[in-house]
Chains A and B, each alone.
Chain A
């Protein structure tokens, strides 16, 4: 079956620095990818998505990069703030199989 994983389970950054969270996926047929943020005690919150026909997408302070050659997804957060502290996880979906597969998450700690 598919697997979606993260390289680093915990990431600590200084406030104001840029953060990069990585995700590896195994299904080369995946068409769609999402990054979610989950704060303690809350449900996952959509951050940004990207389709397989793109390699980069930017939002407000966030950028998602997709490298289909090595099946790698990353989330970049610019000027990281204390409010960015949370668990971030990626999800992949193949439209053929119509289901999402989720990574286990990376915890981002932002030090003031």
Chain B
């Protein structure tokens, strides 16, 4: 089975703090994704990566950056957390190739910014 893990299930940070969300997958997938999930809005794509050291902006990249130093690990960084970044953050991975099919999700990190 594909396993996608996220470093924290719940996180509370203060405004202005730098926040790191880590995601690790064990299926040697090339593609990895970061989404945020907010009530009534569905999943929105923040950033994605098709390969090590490669990243592309999703639909809402503002206020976020990412790092993909190793194939299995994709990190989401909030340089200076703000209250409007309070959300559920979901990491996903998928097999190689553009247009690759099913995305496998991690359990999510619920981030609260005070």
A residues sitting closer than 8 Å to B (CB atoms) are 4, 31-32, 34, 36, 41-46, 49, 89, 91, 93, 95, 98-105
> For chain B, which range describes its interface: under 10, 10 to 19, 20 to 34, or 35 or more residues?
20 to 34
- Would A104 and B99 be within 8 Å (CB), given that A43-B90, A43-B107 are in contact? no
- Is B102 a contact partner of A43 (Cβ separation < 8 A)? no
CA of A36 to CA of B35, assembled, Å: 15
Which residues from B are CB-within-8-Å of A91? 43
Which residues from A are CB-within-8-Å of B98? 95, 98
- What are the 3 closest A-B residue pairs judged by CB atoms, nearest first? A43-B105, A95-B99, A102-B43
B residues sitting closer than 8 Å to A (CB atoms) are 4, 9, 35, 39-45, 48, 58-59, 90, 98-99, 101-108
CA of A42 to CA of B47, assembled, Å: 21
Which residues from A are CB-within-8-Å of B90? 43-44
- Would A98 and B99 be within 8 Å (CB), given that A43-B106, A44-B105 are in contact? yes
Chain B nearest Cβ from A49, distance in angstroms:
6
CA of A98 to CA of B99, assembled, Å: 5
Which residue of B9, B39, B101 has the most chain A CB atoms within 10 A of its CB atom?
B101
- Is A104 a contact partner of B4 (Cβ separation < 8 A)? no
Which residues from A are CB-within-8-Å of B43? 44, 89, 91, 100, 102
- Is A43 a contact partner of B108 (Cβ separation < 8 A)? yes
Instruction: Name the CB-closest residue of B to A100.
Output: B103
- Would A49 and B101 be within 8 Å (CB), given that A104-B41, A104-B42 are in contact? yes
